[in-house]
Structure 1
Amino acid sequence: MRRPPENTSISTPVLHTRDAEIPWGWIAAVVIPVLLLAPAIWNGYPLLQYDTGGYLARWYEGHLEISRSNAYGIYLHLGQGSYFWINLVCQALLTLWILHLTLRVLNMAQPLRLLAIALILITATALPWLASMLLTDIFAGLAVLALYILVVHNGKLSIVEKISLFLFTSFAAASHTATFGVLLGLCCAGWIVKPLLGPRLQITGLVQGSLTILAGAAMLLAANVFLTGRLAWTPGGASVSFGRMMQDGIVARYLNDHCDKIKLKLCPYRNQLPATADDFLWGNDTIFDKLGRFEGMNGEMEFIATHALVAYPLWQAEAAAEATAEQLVEVSTGEGNTGWIPHTYGIIERYLPEQVKAMRAAQQQHWNIKFTAINWIHVPVALASMLLLAAIALTALWRRRIDDVELLAATVCVALLGNAFICGVISGPHDRYGARMVWIATFVVLIAAARFLASRYGWLHGRRDRNLSTPSL
């Protein structure tokens, strides 16, 4: 009996002769992007969301808008002539690339394995809905994976790959303040654990990863200067935090405690504040509207948010912990992808009238997109993935030895916690903020499962002839 070669490993999977003749690499390269864009293809137009209009308007309005990145606005404008299909194709190809690159640096790059994992992600997570939507959300999870690859596996990358990952991660950081915060937190965590992990985290990778944050900040500032003539950060942090504090009852308490000493515009309305931040900031004919919206209230909201943080530190800490915990489990797919998004419709009608007909003909605008049945699958998968992810990371801590997949699991755990804290505390918990990140937990769990099956049962490995191999993607 012929002995198999000694160097046969998981990183060089093989198939039977008949399977090896099938061009799985090409099949994966075509099928995965098409399926990622299946929701948009079915819709007949890119998926829109409440916030899409604010980003589309950035190119035309020439001023800074609360929580709307001008960098992402420029990105959308570049694809405008294609009715934004170029943007969606770019998002799908970036997703394919980063999924494959993650598997490759973990020595698990095999087309059939990539295809299997991608099909599960497309079926069981929000990933295709994120890739099919005109919103920054698809970049949030991809940026976490890109940063992990750039920092931890820097030595396995070509110069072109390093530059590409650097530019993508920087742009993702510039596209949304929450993504910027998560990536900054991951870089800080990397420097903190560097003494514990030693050579596992090379200084070169940490430096390059940290520089993506600086480059992202530079991109955002440059975009703001280019479109508005102002060297300023995208506004909104304090104002959005005010909304969360109002929702928690902190604003009403502050007004009741201080309106007899300080004259504030909100004092006459302190007993009429709505129950939620969304009702206050985005409702119709609200107190916020009467007082001049952001232009009239920015200063006062920032004042109240800052002083309430000092006045009630214990309450703020309790509210932050509750918001973080709530955000971790709010992971339903589809928040904001309804037929009622009047602001986005208005922006398209005002600035892109040639696209109104196509937009109005889409399935979304006929209220044909329903997420109830989808979330019967997505929510349990997301919650189970987070539990399994935590188990993978904790197992490594218990053994006091961590391999590459476990390090990826720990990275994603930190990213999910950071995302939940930033979004939950600043904006208040929303399903959208959880769904845009939690799919990477499912991805890591699938990687761990694939590695276990490959080592234990030869999953996706032919055993008849170990000398045959399939090309990587």
Structure 2
Amino acid sequence: MSARATEQVSARIAAVVIPFFLLAPAIWNGYPLLQWDTGGYLARWYEGYLVPSRSTVFGLYLHIGEGSGFWFNLLLQALATLWIIWLTLRALGLAQPFRVAAISLLLILTTALPWLASMLLTDIFAGLSVLALFLLILHGDKLLPTEKGGLFVFTAFAAASHSATLGVLTGLCVLALLAWPWLRTRMGLPALAFGASALVTGAAMLLAANYALSGQLAWTPGGYGVAFGRMMQDGIVARYLNDHCGQEQLKLCPYRNGLPATADEFLWGHSMFNTLGRFEGMEGEMGYIVTHSLKAYPLWQAEAALAATAQQLLAVATGEGANGWIPHTYGIIERYIPAELKAMRAAHQQHWDIDFPAINRLHVPVALASMLALLALLAHALSWHRLDDVTLLAATVSFALLGNAAICGVISGPHDRYGARMVWIATFTVLIALSRYFWNDPDDLEHDPEKCEAVFRKDHAQTIT
């Protein structure tokens, strides 16, 4: 068999084996993995009204897969993951089947990636959308028109699936625009505009879905409520109430000395939030307290925001909210999709058989080490004034991690789930850098001008000798 034929066979095997391993947690579980928030997305099709922080676009996506027991959704997620990993490696000149398989399997073994791909949640699209936007803006000339179109649709969908994802991608576009004077030889304004237009399309997609399901041309609600919960957890809300309840008539004033300790307990537990009408009854007051406390305590707010961002960067454990106690999601499935009850109840997850603490003995150190290695990679590139494709990917991923930590930590408060869904792309970037360093390949040279120049100098010196 020729080398080309062998490579084609290897590629076909990888195209089957890698998605299988990506879905290994769900296959072992006997059912797609569920999370505390899954039920809120599933209910969007049936309830016909908007719920804070629950995208109708993602709800429609889940509804499409109900007839397959949601395995259709997982298959799409696994194939999209392999596709974007392969496109990224191809753009960097590293798309040999064995290398794609090796890097993919290392990600599957050491990061949250297979758990994200196996779960009915928006999180798998967060990291993938960063890679997709990177390809659209910096490597669009290496993509086929159908690939660019597919990445455009994928990025738009990811942006519509979660506001934090849209925020991270928007921040990356703004940074790219600011860096354009120094990157104009690597990044054209049309490519940047094309990537940004995917985010605009995603926003339009969300508004259209909200209108179609609820009759309201409105953004998904809940922003003030989530921010309020974080400020309450930091003690800012109690301080504001104590300072102003003598002059202002606020619904929370009678409860100011008995506020819950955490945002999750306030918003999703049995607290006075339920008594006062939840989001519908409290949205106005929560927005008022959020905006006025920003003016009243700017230094405290800044310190709390920095602390929350730092804590979020370190919160990277796999599996938050995916244990056996997720009553809301179970209740939604029982109420609206009773045909799924038998399979769902038989799954390992519902019997508390998933040992996430044991899994995180590996995942957390790998995640933290990957972020440190990412910083070392950037520091080395800066010291050598190196601006190759891997450096640009490392910078993109670093800013994405920082932006994700700032948006999620400051608005929602630090949660492991927000870090785990994004940090695997740091490990991916480090594996790419290690592959470039330890596994030289002639095909790499066209993607690395400095390596090409080094090889030329070496060959030239040998010729003279």
Answer whether TM exceeds 0.5 for this pair: yes
| Structure 1 letter corresponding to 2:396 | T
Paired residues for 1:62-101 under 5 Å = 62-101=48-87
**Gap regions ≥5 residues in structure 1:** 1-14, 460-473
Compute the displacement of 1:287 (Å). Answer: 1.2
**1:261-298 deviation digits (Å, cap 9, x = unpaired):** 00111101101011110111111x31111111111111
- Partners of 2:22 and 2:301 lie apart in 1 by 40
User: Which secondary structure state, in structure 1, belongs to the residue aligned with residue 440 of structure 2?
Assistant: helix
Provide the identity percentage. Answer: 67
Asked if 1:334 corresponds to 2:328, the answer is no
Evaluate the alpha carbon distance shift between residue 130 and residue 21 of structure 1 in structure 2; reply closer, same or farther with a 3 A threshold.
closer
The residue that corresponds to 2:395 in the other structure is 410
| Structure 2 letter corresponding to 1:350 | R
Asked if 1:302 corresponds to 2:287, the answer is yes
- Partners of 1:144 and 1:324 lie apart in 2 by 19
- Partners of 1:457 and 1:375 lie apart in 2 by 38
Q: Is the 8 A contact 2:309 2:405 kept in 1?
A: yes
**Count of aligned pairs:** 444
The residue that corresponds to 2:460 in the other structure is none
**1:409-452 deviation digits (Å, cap 9, x = unpaired):** 00000000000000000000000000000000000000000010
Asked if 1:228 corresponds to 2:214, the answer is yes
Q: Is the 8 A contact 1:324 1:424 kept in 2?
A: yes
TM-score (structure 2 length as normaliser) = 0.93
| Structure 2 letter corresponding to 1:144 | V
- Partners of 2:298 and 2:5 lie apart in 1 by 63
- For 2:41, which of 55, 58, 78 is the aligned residue? 55
Compute the displacement of 1:329 (Å). Answer: 0.4
- For 1:192, which of 171, 178, 203 is the aligned residue? 178
Evaluate the alpha carbon distance shift between residue 82 and residue 97 of structure 1 in structure 2; reply closer, same or farther with a 3 A threshold.
same
The residue that corresponds to 2:146 in the other structure is 160
- Partners of 2:227 and 2:366 lie apart in 1 by 30
- Partners of 1:305 and 1:58 lie apart in 2 by 27
| Structure 1 letter corresponding to 2:306 | A
- For 1:371, which of 337, 347, 356 is the aligned residue? 356
- Partners of 1:347 and 1:139 lie apart in 2 by 23
- For 1:429, which of 414, 431, 434 is the aligned residue? 414
- Partners of 1:233 and 1:59 lie apart in 2 by 16
| Structure 2 letter corresponding to 1:315 | W
Compute the displacement of 1:310 (Å). Answer: 1.1
Task: Please identify which structure carries the higher helix content.
Answer: 2
The residue that corresponds to 2:101 in the other structure is 115
Paired residues for 1:372-387 under 5 Å = 372-387=357-372
| Structure 2 letter corresponding to 1:51 | D
Q: Is the 8 A contact 2:7 2:97 kept in 1?
A: no
**1:30-88 deviation digits (Å, cap 9, x = unpaired):** 11000000000111111000000000000011111000000000100011111110000
**1:396-419 deviation digits (Å, cap 9, x = unpaired):** 222233100110000000000000
The residue that corresponds to 2:225 in the other structure is 239
- Partners of 2:195 and 2:273 lie apart in 1 by 40
Evaluate the alpha carbon distance shift between residue 21 and residue 449 of structure 1 in structure 2; reply closer, same or farther with a 3 A threshold.
closer
Paired residues for 1:101-180 under 5 Å = 101-180=87-166
Asked if 1:218 corresponds to 2:204, the answer is yes
- Partners of 1:16 and 1:355 lie apart in 2 by 48
Q: Is the 8 A contact 2:312 2:419 kept in 1?
A: yes
Q: Is the 8 A contact 1:338 1:364 kept in 2?
A: yes
Q: Is the 8 A contact 2:93 2:443 kept in 1?
A: no
- Partners of 1:19 and 1:105 lie apart in 2 by 22
Compute the displacement of 1:370 (Å). Answer: 1.1
User: Which secondary structure state, in structure 2, belongs to the residue aligned with residue 71 of structure 1?
Assistant: helix
User: Which secondary structure state, in structure 2, belongs to the residue aligned with residue 104 of structure 1?
Assistant: helix
| Structure 2 letter corresponding to 1:372 | P
| Structure 1 letter corresponding to 2:138 | V
**1:87-127 deviation digits (Å, cap 9, x = unpaired):** 00000000000000000000111110011001110010000
Q: Is the 8 A contact 2:222 2:279 kept in 1?
A: no
- For 1:323, which of 281, 295, 308 is the aligned residue? 308
Q: Is the 8 A contact 2:250 2:285 kept in 1?
A: yes
- Partners of 1:87 and 1:17 lie apart in 2 by 36
The residue that corresponds to 1:27 in the other structure is 13
- Partners of 1:368 and 1:152 lie apart in 2 by 43
- Partners of 1:21 and 1:120 lie apart in 2 by 20
- Partners of 2:8 and 2:224 lie apart in 1 by 56
Q: Displaced runs of 4+ in structure 1, greater than 4 A?
A: 15-19, 456-459
Compute the displacement of 1:394 (Å). Answer: 2.3
Compute the displacement of 1:457 (Å). Answer: 12
- Partners of 1:16 and 1:273 lie apart in 2 by 71
- Partners of 2:415 and 2:264 lie apart in 1 by 10
User: Which secondary structure state, in structure 1, belongs to the residue aligned with residue 128 of structure 2?
Assistant: helix
- Partners of 1:458 and 1:216 lie apart in 2 by 36
Q: Is the 8 A contact 1:50 1:336 kept in 2?
A: yes
TM-score (structure 1 length as normaliser) = 0.92
User: Which secondary structure state, in structure 2, belongs to the residue aligned with residue 261 of structure 1?
Assistant: coil
User: Which secondary structure state, in structure 1, belongs to the residue aligned with residue 211 of structure 2?
Assistant: helix
Evaluate the alpha carbon distance shift between residue 145 and residue 21 of structure 1 in structure 2; reply closer, same or farther with a 3 A threshold.
closer
- Partners of 1:310 and 1:402 lie apart in 2 by 41
The residue that corresponds to 1:12 in the other structure is none
Deviates more, 1:353-362 or 1:288-297: 288-297
Deviates more, 1:388-397 or 1:104-113: 388-397
- What RMSD in Å do the two structures reach over aligned CA positions? 1.7
- Partners of 1:351 and 1:256 lie apart in 2 by 44
- Partners of 1:371 and 1:420 lie apart in 2 by 22
| Structure 2 letter corresponding to 1:135 | L
The residue that corresponds to 1:471 in the other structure is none
Q: Is the 8 A contact 1:393 1:407 kept in 2?
A: no
Deviates more, 1:15-24 or 1:208-217: 15-24
